A and B are shown apart, each in its own frame.
Chain A
Amino acid sequence: MAKRIGKDTVILENYPSIIGYGCVVGKKEKEGPLGSYFNSFDNDARFGEKSFEKAESRLQKIAVENALKKANLSEKDIDMIFAGDLLNQCIGSTFGLRKMGISLLGLYGACSTMALGLGISAVMVDSGAANTAIAVTSSHFCSAERQYRFPLEYGALRPQTAQRTVTGSGATILGKSNVLPFINAVTFGKVTDFGITDANNMGAAMAPSAASTLISFFNDTNTMPCDYDAIYSGDLGDVGTKILLKLMLDEGYDIKPNHNDCGLMMFDRKKQDVHSGGSGCGCSASILNSYIMNEFETNKLKNILFMSTGALLSPTSTMQGESIPGISHLVNIKMR
């Protein structure tokens, strides 16, 4: 059974394992440095749909279907699905998965949703409340732009600290297995707000929450960064990554040698004009469910920390001049 250690960490004792995973991305992501790991993609930003919102729903459906195929399971074999996205009222998830016939629990954790869903799924599978559970999330550049910023064709200029929302979705299926990588521990993060108000600098807004969650995890588990093959943060981008490294160093943790940020891995910042890097729920979700899992399969990774980072802003809070709270959830994925 799941056991609480330290203040914020949950250790899982029944090996909730990753029995399937799948993802789908858009054109720009496919053209990025990790393109060869993304087998499922579409050059059409609308994914054959009439609107970008429908396209995002489709992304989640495709990601789940790809994961089911990988696990050699059908929808009937799944007990629960934890899904969330960035669109108002999470319509990307609920509309995309409405025909699945699986108990659905909607989540909102902004871009931290992948690790959040994975953490809850792991606790559910570990406790026996579910035999199998899926964690899925998505983001779409165009639907996010519409909701949070300007119309796509508007010639707005973006500052150097801005990030590009990733068009993509990732789904992970947890279940029981004796051989596959499993979720060993979960640290659910706290809302952390250091007063950043610039919605074009979300890396800076999220970095303290990432540092807070990492420090909690290291304290609770009595481990050090060097105990892990890699530490992946979600979408801090260039600015947020630099701040995270500094904040961690201040606390005596040097994570630089094994840290990488999915927002930096997704695009070639020099060629793809994405300023500070990628962002969005789909950023960490699609990289976990392709590249990272692939590294586990080829035995290049055995013990990692995967931490999705979220900026909990809304268009309304930004207009009202509120600061941007951040939240980061962490899962420790380990080889059996």
Chain B
Amino acid sequence: MQYSNENYKKLAGEFSPKSPKVKDFVFAFVVGGIVCVFGQLLLELFLCLDIKEEISEILVPCTLIFIAVLFTGLKIFPSIAKFSGAGVLVPITGFANAVASPAIEFKNEGFVLGVGSKIFTVAGPVILYGTTASVIYGVIYYIVRAVF
């Protein structure tokens, strides 16, 4: 077989079907939009119920997280994510799924070494780099405010 690694990669690429990106984009856009509209409707609902605005704003992500975790437990979430992709994975629903799924998965290994240590296997990088980024942002914001 006269292939260099590079030539072989090219050959393999020719036979490897690509993901249907346009379709994926459209579905992600539409479903992501629906999740956002649903969040807005929740906010309006809470406000109608005479809940203070700042509390309503906290209740919205809490409700979305609850629904995403519930759907993860009921095994519905992966099917929704299957066709909507980033549409449900990028909003807070995706984060909830990323934490709930290992929690379910590692029950067999016990609550300490299983759930306890594995719960952030998927979401861990987001938590680490998300909080680090927000600290850096806060420092920059502080300096900019102090100077100008």
- Chain A residues contacting B82 (CB-CB under 8 Å) are 155, 157
Known: A155-B77, A157-B82. A239 touches B1 (CB 8 A): no
- Chain A residues contacting B2 (CB-CB under 8 Å) are 250
| A contact residues, total (Cβ < 8 Å) | 34
In this assembly, does A50 line the interface, its C-beta being within 8 Å of a C-beta of chain B? yes
- Chain B residues contacting A195 (CB-CB under 8 Å) are 5-6, 8-9
Q: Which residue in chain B gives the minimum CB-CB distance to A157?
A: B85
Chain A 36-60 near chain B by CB (<8 Å), digits 1 or 0: 0000000000000011010000000
- Contact between B15 and A157, CB atoms less than 8 A apart: no
**Listed stretches A22-30, A82-90, A241-249; interface member:** A241-249
Known: A153-B100, A195-B8. A242 touches B85 (CB 8 A): no
**Listed stretches B16-24, B124-132, B135-143; interface member:** B16-24
- Contact between B89 and A247, CB atoms less than 8 A apart: no
Known: A150-B122, A196-B12. A50 touches B17 (CB 8 A): no
- Chain B residues contacting A151 (CB-CB under 8 Å) are 101-102, 104-106, 121-122
- Contact between A243 and B11, CB atoms less than 8 A apart: yes
Known: A51-B108, A151-B102. A196 touches B17 (CB 8 A): no
- Contact between B17 and A155, CB atoms less than 8 A apart: no
Q: Which residue in chain A gives the minimum CB-CB distance to B108?
A: A51
CA distance A88 to B90 in the complex (A): 33
In this assembly, does B78 line the interface, its C-beta being within 8 Å of a C-beta of chain A? yes
A-B contact count (CB 8 A): 94
Residue in A154, A196, A212, A250 whose beta carbon sits within 8 Å of that of B98 in the complex:
A154
In this assembly, does B94 line the interface, its C-beta being within 8 Å of a C-beta of chain A? yes
- Chain A residues contacting B11 (CB-CB under 8 Å) are 243, 246
CA distance A239 to B122 in the complex (A): 28
In this assembly, does A218 line the interface, its C-beta being within 8 Å of a C-beta of chain B? no
- Chain A residues contacting B18 (CB-CB under 8 Å) are 160
CA distance A76 to B63 in the complex (A): 60
In this assembly, does A110 line the interface, its C-beta being within 8 Å of a C-beta of chain B? no
In this assembly, does B65 line the interface, its C-beta being within 8 Å of a C-beta of chain A? no
- Chain A residues contacting B6 (CB-CB under 8 Å) are 195
- How far apart are A316's CB and chain B's nearest CB, in angstroms? 14
Known: A194-B5, A243-B11. A154 touches B16 (CB 8 A): no
In this assembly, does A227 line the interface, its C-beta being within 8 Å of a C-beta of chain B? no
CA distance A152 to B81 in the complex (A): 12
- Contact between B108 and A50, CB atoms less than 8 A apart: yes
Q: Which residue in chain A gives the minimum CB-CB distance to B106?
A: A151
- Chain A residues contacting B80 (CB-CB under 8 Å) are 155
Q: 6 interchain pairs (CB within 8 A)? A: A151-B102, A151-B122, A154-B122, A155-B97, A159-B19, A196-B9
Known contacts A146-B105, A152-B78; 16 additional CB pairs below 8 A are A154-B78, A155-B82, A156-B81, A157-B81, A160-B16, A160-B18, A160-B19, A161-B16, A194-B5, A196-B9, A201-B16, A204-B16, A208-B1, A211-B1, A238-B17, A246-B15
Residues of B within 8 A of A (CB): 1-3, 5-6, 8-9, 11-12, 15-19, 72-73, 75, 77-78, 80-82, 85, 88-89, 94, 97-98, 100-102, 104-106, 108, 121-122
Residues of A within 8 A of B (CB): 50-51, 53, 146, 150-157, 159-161, 194-196, 201, 204, 207-208, 211-212, 215, 238-239, 242-243, 246-247, 250-251, 323
